[in-house]
Structure 1
Amino acid sequence: MNRPSKRLLGRRELVDFPAFALGGVEAKVDTGAYTSAIHCSNIHIETDAEQRAVLVVELLDPGHEGADGRPLTFAEFALRDIRSSNGEVQERYVIRAVVQLYGENFEADFSLSDRSDMKYPVLLGRSLLQQGRFVVDVAKRNLSYKAMARAAARRARR
């Protein structure tokens, strides 16, 4: 039985969120965190036209390339207890989102929180890393984007 080979990620990666039209977002790869996280603000619940509760957020900060300040609405979301990096348990909204690494889409849970005081707006946790069969080399950075750039350059030469 052949096992799929594991792909290498660095301690920092640039990721894309195709459904949100966001590309090249800096992410910290954190094997100590179970759930991935993405920075957002103005998190609130509204009622849609069918009188259902929907989650409304603004992803990233206005200064981030691709972030246009438009609110995003999620009909499917959960409220979960998430343990923060300082050990404190916080109740956070969690959504399912597609993140792109090595040009491949991976669906994962992302907790929504204000990460404005953090260096990286996205955190990639173990649940995502395990499903994609990744290993992490903390001495490396941006391996996924570099591999995609090399592949694009090879295609351009043909």
Structure 2
Amino acid sequence: MKFVSKAGAAAALFFLSTIVVSAESDSNSEKRSPETLGFVEWVVMQDTSLRLKARLDTGAKTSSLHAVNVEPFDKDGKEWVSFQIPLGDHEDQPTEGELDHENVTLELERPVERTVLIKRKGAPSQRRYVVRMEFCIAGTTHETQFSLTDRGKFSYPVLLGRRFMRDDNILVDSADAFLAKRECEYMTLKELAEKHQAKVLEK
């Protein structure tokens, strides 16, 4: 039988306590400082430089993005989805020249993260595709999951839910909007259309 002296036990306990405290300190240092944003903010979808108004909704878990003509397809043995963002449905994008929002529809493709079944009151349940996308808000780039759905009848084409807020330590001031102190770079309608057309021609 092996015995440990009281002094040795105390030293071992102190050593373990030091490890635990150190680990907790490292974990806390990696967490983002909380940032307070308004219940409505500008977001810029990073892959398109498209600027849209977003509502920060603590009542929704998953974020959602306005999209139409959502179609699944197979790519390299994995499920992908193609979808369109018609800018005529939400005319917040800055303009330049004579180009009209109705003339611009962005076409995107993304791998499917998962699907969700949405139960709707007085209407059949709806299955939605969920994709992962990068976006900029308050001058900082984030990545979260977006369910793709037609939000043409809603005021805001983007809804940011609790999953994004939790992962990035975001607080929401429900009494005010556009509190972000920093802006994200974006393109005008003309620049956006030219960039998108160039990508289409490359294909």
- Same fold (TM > 0.5): yes
Structure 1 residue 4 displacement after superposition = 4.4
Cα displacement string for residues 66-123 of structure 1 (whole angstroms, at most 9, x for unaligned residues): 7731311113442222456x59753100000112122111110000000111111110
Percent identity over paired residues: 29
Cα 1:96–1:87 change in 2 (3 A) is farther
Q: Is the 8 A contact 2:112 2:130 kept in 1?
A: no
Could you say what the CA RMSD is over the residues aligned between the two structures, in angstroms? 2.6
Q: In the alignment, residue 178 of structure 2 is paired with which amino acid?
A: N
Residues 1-158 of structure 1 aligned to structure 2 (within 5 Å): 1=25, 4-23=32-51, 25-47=52-74, 53-62=79-88, 64=91, 65=93, 68-82=104-118, 89-144=125-180, 147-148=181-182
> Aligned residues, how many?
144
Q: Which residue of 1 aligns with 2:98?
A: none
The structure where strand makes up a greater share of residues is 1
Cα 1:99–1:91 change in 2 (3 A) is same
Task: Return 5+ residue gaps in structure 1 as ranges.
Answer: 150-158
The structure where helix makes up a greater share of residues is 2
Q: In the alignment, residue 47 of structure 2 is paired with which amino acid?
A: A
Cα 1:29–1:52 change in 2 (3 A) is closer
Q: Is the 8 A contact 2:63 2:164 kept in 1?
A: yes
- More divergent stretch after superposition (4-13 vs 60-69): 60-69
- More divergent stretch after superposition (38-47 vs 118-127): 38-47
Q: Is the 8 A contact 1:60 1:121 kept in 2?
A: no
